[in-house]
Structure 1
Amino acid sequence: MKHTTREDYRVVITPRRLGDLGWMSISDRMASSDPDRDMRERCEEITEQVKRHVDNVSSVEVQFTEVHTCSHCCLTWEVLTAVEAANPSYQQDEHSAEGEPVCCEKAIAEFRAERNIPALGGGS
């Protein structure tokens, strides 16, 4: 017979978005010139309030997920793996290499220029 026990209990607090004004909602980018900084500050404020005002708390920490995006096209940052770089169906051309971005031509051009790899379309 299977017996289940529970352990590592946690209380998860999700901060309100910067653009959630309660009575209306706007994008976080409209609400702040630096949303990453301001959300981190909001989380630190919540952390301090929990430490001061909530009993029976062992620890409080700010956790987050990092999302890497292309500085040119803002898509999620993805690169060719070694297996993909060796597979013609994934290659942009015969010079495609492991670590080459797959999101946009500007990112590919920058990657190749930094490594002296011939540009797409045979340019230099």
Structure 2
Amino acid sequence: MKDRIRATVAAASAPDMDVALSYARTALDAPTRALMATIGETLRTTEPTLDMREVTRLAYAGRAAADVHGKGTPRAVAATGLLLRHMPRVDWPPTEGTPITRHEYGRRLLAKAGVREQQGSDTRG
């Protein structure tokens, strides 16, 4: 009887454990927030008036992770995956009219990372 109870309890809690593990693997943790904030600030200050493209999103995520963890290392690959999971995709061609600029995309990344913008760093052209 005890084995049946244990099996029932284990089966009932297994989905909850799977959800918790999945959340832990994909949560926006502090290192990912820091990398996202760095990318956001860079996009806001480097060529801010250019259109943001999906290839730019991919390149910045990979480069930021490689700068911190080393090029091609397993930690860099994992960090890139987490960044790309949390960085919004960039539709091209834009579906909402005008394309988003690098400045605006950087602002969105900073907001998602939980970083407040500094008043003096607005460099729109």
Instruction: Tell me the TM-score normalised to structure 1 length.
Output: 0.31
Give the number of the structure whose alpha-carbon radius of gyration is greater. 1
- Higher RCO (CA-CA < 8 Å; seq separation 6+): 2
Instruction: Tell me the TM-score normalised to structure 2 length.
Output: 0.31
